Amino acid sequence: MRRLWRSVLDALTPYDAGPPLESLAEELGRPDLVRLSANENPLGPSPRAVAAVAREAARMHLYPDGGSTALREALARRLGVRADQLVVGNGADELIALVAAAAFEPGDEVIVPEPSFEPYALGATLAGARVVPSPLAEYDTDLDDVRRKVTDRTKAVMLCSPHNPATTIIRRGALLAFLEALGANAPLVILDEAYRDFCDASDYPDGVTLLARYPRLIVLRTFSKIAGLAGLRVGYAAASTETIDRLNRVRAPYNVNRLGQVAALAALEDQEHLERTRRLVIEERAFLSAELTKRGYPFPRSHANFLLVAVPDPAALRARLLEAGILVRDGAGIGFPGHLRFSVGLRETNEKLLSLF
Ligand SMILES: Cc1ncc(COP(=O)(O)O)c(C=O)c1O
């Protein structure tokens, strides 16, 4: 028999993102359904990004700039790195896949905190590498455990800060000690900072500023969260020029579409919208946290735009919330049974959510 498909696929199931928001709203007869299950931006996109997309729409018959040059140059200026230290992807999701395609081989080990964002393990598994899980210490990334698991076969370590779904961060001192301990012959360290803009802790490190000292570090960021462009799929990796050169070798020629590129550029220029989003999330997160604490619910302090809260009967509470028009994530599907994960919404939504807790 001719074997058509890679045997590694037998162990995988297609990612289930749930029904589209619009069909779920229709099915429930709730056109006002608010999705708090996907960590999206409660304010929506910047009006300047919307205008940029409208202006660009008539050029959609033309291929985009395959290198996302204007966006990389704007980001480089903003971040204080060279444009050839950046690659833009079809969401940060694509960058995780590009790292796996460029670096991982059968026999490699990839250390992945468990639980964590599912695509890390998926990318490694698909590439034929062995996933070495490092259990969280309750809600925190356990860098001592990760360090102990590094061997000669370790190709990469995946880190996420703020962590999805645990909402916790890796603090500056701990991260630096970890990177130092790995030494010069370190594996790749992928530091996913998708939610960095929502963190206001003073000892939260900026991964990009560490690149000069740690050339094997790869920092991932996205326009999906703070900039509200999740539907357009734009993320980027910042790393050494050598790493970026390798990632570009496995990147599709036109991986980021025209509308995404112009929207991201416009979003980057709309500092006020970025700041408004950040302020809203931080204020509403504090409101939700205080109210949930008053009601006796335990949860780790969140540094992201979502909370992970322990509740006695998550399925029942999720059903009640859905009936009231609020969609949240059951922790059971993301490694935290006994919890609900929900994004920080607008005040009105947050009050409605709290009224059902
Ligand atoms: C930790 C983390 N990294 C990356 C991503 C993917 O971001 P993007 O929408 O840019 O693919 C997400 C999305 O939810 C995430 O939670």
| Topology agreement, domain 7-45+272-355 and domain 47-270 | no
Q: Atom 1 (ligand 1): residue with closest C-alpha?
A: 164
Q: Which CATH architecture has domain 7-45+272-355?
A: Alpha-Beta Complex (3.90)
For residue 119, report the distance from its CA to the centre of ligand 1, in Å: 9
For residue 2, report the distance from its CA to the centre of ligand 1, in Å: 37
- 28 token code pair: 């429930």
What is the reported pLDDT for 11?
86
CATH number of 47-270: 3.40.640.10
Domain boundaries, the chain: 7-45+272-355, 47-270
Burial (CB count within 10 angstroms: exposed 0-12, middle 13-18, buried 19+), residue 285: buried
Pocket of ligand 1 (CB under 6 A): 39, 91-93, 117, 160, 164, 192, 194, 222, 224, 230, 235
What is the reported pLDDT for 17?
80
What is the reported pLDDT for 19?
85
pLDDT tens digit sequence for 159-176: 999 999 999 999 999 999
For residue 6, report the distance from its CA to the centre of ligand 1, in Å: 26
Average pLDDT by consecutive 10-residue portion of the chain (357 residues)? 93 85 91 96 98 98 98 98 98 98 98 97 95 98 98 98 98 98 96 98 98 98 98 98 98 98 98 98 98 98 98 97 96 97 98 97
Other beta carbons within 10 Å of 317: 18
What is the reported pLDDT for 297?
98
Counting ligand 1 atoms within 8 A of each CB, the residue from 164, 232, 329 with the most, and so the one to mutate, is: 164
Counting ligand 1 atoms within 8 A of each CB, the residue from 225, 234, 308 with the most, and so the one to mutate, is: 225
Q: Is the dihedral of CA 78, 80, 83, 89 positive or negative?
A: negative
What is the reported pLDDT for 13?
87
State yes or no: cis peptide before 115, omega within 30 of 0. Answer: yes
Other beta carbons within 10 Å of 184: 6
Q: Do 75 and 268 form a contact (C-beta atoms < 8 A)?
A: yes
> Rounded to two decimals, what is the model's pTM?
0.97
